[in-house]
Structure 1
Amino acid sequence: LALCKTEPLSVLIGMGAKEFDDEGRVQVLEFKDYFLINSYFPNSQHGLTRLEYKLKFDNEFTTFAENLRKIKPLIICGDFNVAHEEIDIARPKDNVNNAGFTPQEREWMTKFLALGYVDTFRYFVKEGGHYSWWSYRFNARQKNIGWRIDYFIASTELLPRLKAAGILEGIEGSDHAPVFLELERKALKPSK
Structure 2
Amino acid sequence: MCDAIFMGRLTAGATHEMQNILATIRESAGLMEDLLALGGEGFAHAERFKKGLGVLSEQVERGMALSEQLNYCAHAPEPSPTGAEVNEAMRSLVGLYRREAARQRVALVLAPGRSGLRTELRALETMALVGQALDLALPLLPRNGQLMLSVEEHGGLAVVRLDGPSYEALRSLPGHAGLERAAKACHAGLCAGPGGQGVALSLPKPVA
Which of the two has greater strand per residue?
1
Structure (1 or 2) with the larger CA radius of gyration:
2
Q: TM-score, normalised by structure 2?
A: 0.30
Which of the two has greater helix per residue?
2
